[in-house]
Structure 1
Amino acid sequence: MTINLLAAALVSYALLSPTGGQVQPAPKAALIKPAVRKPATVPPSAPIESGPCQIGVIPIAGIVFMVEKFGPITSLDRYSRVSVAAWALDDLVVSRVRAAAPGSSVRRIPFTKDELKSGGRDQPRLFASYRIASDIKDFVRLLATKVRCERYVVVHRHGGTQREFGIGISQYPLNGPVHLFAMMYVRVYDGATFALIKEAPALMTEDTFTERVMHNPLGGPSTELDRAMFPEKPADVVNNAVLRDGVRMMLTKSLDKTLPGLLQRAPQR
């Protein structure tokens, strides 16, 4: 079930995004007449990345927010998907990779919605559930033709131990709890062979039985909210600062705890 949800969420990401998660190119500098001799400039908000790449980051995280209203049985569950591109969560993911790898050249790898939907294959596969690991690897291989890096880090949504998936808010029936959650998975690939080097869910605490029971009831980063915080309309999510800041906090804390260990290289012999 978790794998099926991952496939659906990756497709939703591509369909909701106005750019399919692609990094927008920096605007071209205005043409300059020879007599003026003023240097062409690029706005600071849209820097051009160049030079060698040690770590390429492929974030599949930041625009889909799930509003999940659970029924007494799963067939009565109701899901809505809201675009929260304005929250810049993919940019946050890239910034945490940079923080976890000081001194390394880190670049975000752009992709289009069609590339995401195809999963790196000639024909659209929508990240087929029974081949999700293989599809992600092929997706990385496809994007590597754009920017060659020593390693690639893919950060994508995944499910926990309950019905929640990815980033969103859930409401349980019969006056049950409301949870805000941000559950991500990290995969690190070799840039030459595309072999999977390391992988792990992004967690805010140690992955022990006690911590899972006490602090991770959903199987990943979450926080319980007052029931009044559940949005009456899914569209209300975008401008809700409590939900936005809560998601950003959980993403930051979980990635800061998980990434350093995944990016640490084995000592040379």
Structure 2
Amino acid sequence: MMTLLAAALVSYALLSPTGGQVQPAPKPEVVRPAVRKPATVTPAKPVESGPCQIGVIPIAGDLFMVEKFGAFTFLDKYSHTSVAAWALDDLVVSRVRAAASGSSVRRIPFTREELKSGGRAKQNPFFYRTSTAVESFVRFLAPKLRCERYVVVHRHGGSQREYGIGISQYPLNGPVFLFAMMYIRVYDGTTFALIREAPALMTEDTYIERVMHNPLGGPSTELDRTMFPEKPADAISNPVLRDGVRTMLTKSLDKTLPALLQRPSPSR
């Protein structure tokens, strides 16, 4: 009996893949935590600080007017589209900085809602005055950032039917004009008295210049009729319209701003 038991044990040892030996339990696999790369942090834009000598309130806005005139004014058609991608307000601020080199120039922020209703004095529509509305808006925004002076650059009408920034088409196969008409007002930061004001022009404001180069009463350029957009939104992606507006805006502000930003001479 003992002989048979011994033979059975030997057979098991030979047939077993481990040779009958007791194998140690496998070590558990060590899972190493994944090494995470540090997240890339985008540096924040530097926050402007320090005193403000000139606060800029740009109201060039993102509106591009598309005006199709009829033979009579009651047949005129007006529409508009947003051209925020053109960054016209940023351009205005950059030109004020260039004209006021050496001065601390800060942009005064405001929202669309504030522009629509902020600080606007209630006026009888029959006696509405742009100057009163602009001054009220400056007073409304001033607590955000106290500055020695405030410069407001806003849309303006010329001597014809064009207003602000846009393109116009005249009837009966008439001309097409691209225009960028802005007005500049400079206010005292303490009393809010109007110091200086003027339309932004690319040429001298004389009768000859108006007739020869300013037929619309402000910066404009005549374009081929094919440049008039079939739909207002088509203007956004048109580089001829975008670059034309930016060029006129730059030239008119660069010519007009330096004189308006001169410090008033001290009274004797």
Q: Give the alignment's TM-score, normalised by structure 1.
A: 0.81
SS in 1 for 2:144: coil
Could you say if the C-alpha distance between residues 144 and 245 of structure 1 is closer, same or farther in structure 2, counting changes exceeding 3 Å? same
In structure 2, the gaps of 5 or more residues are 1-40
Task: Give the conservation status (yes or no) of the 8 Å contact 1:182–1:222.
Answer: yes
The residue that corresponds to 1:42 in the other structure is 43
> Aligned equivalents of 2:61 and 2:51: distance in 1?
26
SS in 2 for 1:160: coil
Aligned-residue identity in percent: 78
Superposed displacement of residue 128, structure 1: 8.6
> Aligned equivalents of 1:83 and 1:55: distance in 2?
28
Letter in 2 for 1:103: G
Letter in 2 for 1:222: S
> Aligned equivalents of 1:178 and 1:86: distance in 2?
23
Task: Give the conservation status (yes or no) of the 8 Å contact 1:166–1:184.
Answer: yes
The residue that corresponds to 1:149 in the other structure is 147
Q: In the alignment, which of 179, 182, 193 is matched to residue 181 of structure 1? A: 179
In structure 1, the gaps of 5 or more residues are 1-39
Letter in 2 for 1:72: A
Superposed displacement of residue 127, structure 1: 9.2
> Aligned equivalents of 2:209 and 2:168: distance in 1?
21
Q: In the alignment, which of 195, 198, 201 is matched to residue 200 of structure 1? A: 198
The residue that corresponds to 2:158 in the other structure is 160
Task: Give the conservation status (yes or no) of the 8 Å contact 1:117–1:126.
Answer: no
- Deviation string 1:159-179 (CA, Å, 9 cap, x unpaired) is 000000000000000010000
Could you say if the C-alpha distance between residues 130 and 90 of structure 1 is closer, same or farther in structure 2, counting changes exceeding 3 Å? same
> Aligned equivalents of 1:48 and 1:90: distance in 2?
19
Letter in 1 for 2:159: T
Task: Give the conservation status (yes or no) of the 8 Å contact 2:69–2:171.
Answer: yes
- Deviation string 1:5-49 (CA, Å, 9 cap, x unpaired) is xxxxxxxxxxxxxxxxxxxxxxxxxxxxxxxxxxx8634xx4422
SS in 1 for 2:55: strand
The residue that corresponds to 2:130 in the other structure is 132
The residue that corresponds to 2:4 in the other structure is none
Could you say if the C-alpha distance between residues 142 and 42 of structure 1 is closer, same or farther in structure 2, counting changes exceeding 3 Å? farther
Cα-Cα RMSD? 2.0
Could you say if the C-alpha distance between residues 238 and 183 of structure 1 is closer, same or farther in structure 2, counting changes exceeding 3 Å? same
The residue that corresponds to 1:82 in the other structure is 81
Letter in 2 for 1:219: G
Could you say if the C-alpha distance between residues 42 and 143 of structure 1 is closer, same or farther in structure 2, counting changes exceeding 3 Å? farther
The residue that corresponds to 1:230 in the other structure is 228
- Deviation string 1:182-202 (CA, Å, 9 cap, x unpaired) is 000000000000000000000
SS in 2 for 1:59: strand
The residue that corresponds to 2:5 in the other structure is none
> Aligned equivalents of 2:72 and 2:97: distance in 1?
42
> Aligned equivalents of 2:43 and 2:54: distance in 1?
24
SS in 2 for 1:56: strand
SS in 2 for 1:185: strand
> Aligned equivalents of 1:128 and 1:264: distance in 2?
35
Q: Give the alignment's TM-score, normalised by structure 2.
A: 0.81
- Deviation string 1:126-168 (CA, Å, 9 cap, x unpaired) is 9996132112111101100000000000000010000000000
Task: Give the conservation status (yes or no) of the 8 Å contact 1:119–1:135.
Answer: no
The residue that corresponds to 1:247 in the other structure is 245
Letter in 2 for 1:149: C
Letter in 2 for 1:116: L
Structure whose alpha-carbon radius of gyration is higher: 2
Q: Is 1:219 the counterpart of 2:217 in the alignment?
A: yes
- Deviation string 1:90-115 (CA, Å, 9 cap, x unpaired) is 00000000000000000000012222
